Amino acid sequence: MRAAKNLRVHDCMRRPYFAAAARHSATTVRGEERLLDLAHGTERVPATFLLPPAARSAPAALLLHGFSSSKERMAQSVGRALQQRGVASLALDLPFHGERDGGRDEIPYRNPLALVAAWTTAVREARAAIEWLAAQPEVDAEHIGAIGYSLGGFLALMTAAEEPTVRVVALAAAGDLPATTPYAALVRRAVDPLRAVRKLSGRPLLLVNGRRDTTTRPAQAERLFAYAEEPKELRWYDGGHWPPPSAIEDAAAWTAEQLRGRSSRAGKRQVG
């Protein structure tokens, strides 16, 4: 298999470049699956790269999972749904998660500033991953989106806010910071979903949220939706924090349609 290109990214954030090494590759009727290590300085970021059959200049999406989850859950749910629709995807293991899990004791729960620093690292890695994805010969660099679930939704939004390469954003079980966030004013100075969603500046946004979600409450989703500019859409499902299969399929279909530019961009909508 052809080795992935090295990518050096230069900007004011001094983002790292990623060099990809393939650990495993398999081809089926659904397409190709590559298990990669994205080298980021001394850090190894495990990733799953899914490609539709005979991919040539395919649209693509970065997939970011939720707290206590892993790249596999995103790749095998929304990633597969995208693959069926001709869209490639790259799912990452976030810091402290998946193959990078050194133990829950390492996650700085009790230190908000350290937690913010960890998620800032995740956003930096996600931005570099977008650049890597755009450089792949199978991917159309003009049609790249970001999809995130829960914590990954927050990180996908922060990534898209700083990366104009991201043309479409879909967030599941995500929203504004909880009303009970410790040191909220301080946290918002570093990471503010409301400020970030404004920076999308007219790029299509989909929010998919559960009416009975007690982790990301409906009020958080509604607050984020209210701050977003058009075109935007908020779709509700009757359930808790993890979306049902039908909601995942709908989000994948919406993302594929938007990335191909077939949407009429009718403006804001709430469904459900």
Handedness of CA 1, 256, 81, 125 (dihedral sign): positive
Is residue 162 a contact partner of residue 123, using CB atoms and an 8 Å limit?
Answer: yes
| Tokens, residue 203 | 């790029």
Would you say residue 4 has pLDDT above 50? no
pLDDT (tens digit per residue) in 63-74: 999 888 889 999
In this predicted structure, what is the pLDDT of residue 95?
A: 82
pLDDT band at 266 (very low <50, low <70, confident <90, very high): very low
Higher per-residue confidence, 178 vs 267: 178
| Tokens, residue 155 | 């990180």
> What is the distance, to the nearest Å, from the Cα of residue 164 to the centroid of all Cα atoms in its chain?
14
Transcribe 167-209 into DSSP letters.
Answer: EEEEEES--SPPTT-TTHHHHHHH--HHHHHHTTTT--EEEEE
205 φ/ψ angles, rounded to the nearest 5 degrees = -130, 130
CA angle 237, 252, 39 (to 5 degrees): 120
What does the mean pLDDT of the chain come to? 86
**Peptide bond before residue 46 is cis, with ω within 30 degrees of 0:** no
Return d(Cα 37, Cα 92) in angstroms, integer: 10
In this predicted structure, what is the pLDDT of residue 106?
A: 57
> What is the distance, to the nearest Å, from the Cα of residue 65 to the centroid of all Cα atoms in its chain?
7
β-sheet bridge partners, residue 209: 236
In this predicted structure, what is the pLDDT of residue 112?
A: 61
pLDDT band at 40 (very low <50, low <70, confident <90, very high): confident
pLDDT band at 108 (very low <50, low <70, confident <90, very high): low
Return d(Cα 138, Cα 54) in angstroms, integer: 9
Sort strands 232-237 and 269-271 into parallel, antiparallel or unpaired: parallel
Residue with tokens 């914590």: 151
In this predicted structure, what is the pLDDT of residue 109?
A: 55
Q: Identity (one letter) of the amino acid at 129? A: A
Is residue 60 a contact partner of residue 90, using CB atoms and an 8 Å limit?
Answer: yes
CA nearest 133: which of 124, 118, 143, 121? 143
Rg (C-alpha) for the chain, rounded Å, is 17
In this predicted structure, what is the pLDDT of residue 110?
A: 60
Q: Which CATH number fits domain 19-271: 3.40.50.2000, 3.30.10.20, 3.40.50.1820, 3.40.50.620?
A: 3.40.50.1820
Mean pLDDT of 38-45: 83
CA nearest 141: which of 125, 112, 163, 118? 163
% pLDDT > 90, the chain:
65
Q: By mean pLDDT, which of 41-50, 158-167, 259-268 is the weakest? A: 259-268
Higher per-residue confidence, 10 vs 197: 197
Statement: the pTM of the whole predicted model exceeds 0.85: yes
pLDDT band at 52 (very low <50, low <70, confident <90, very high): very high
Mean pLDDT of 243-248: 97
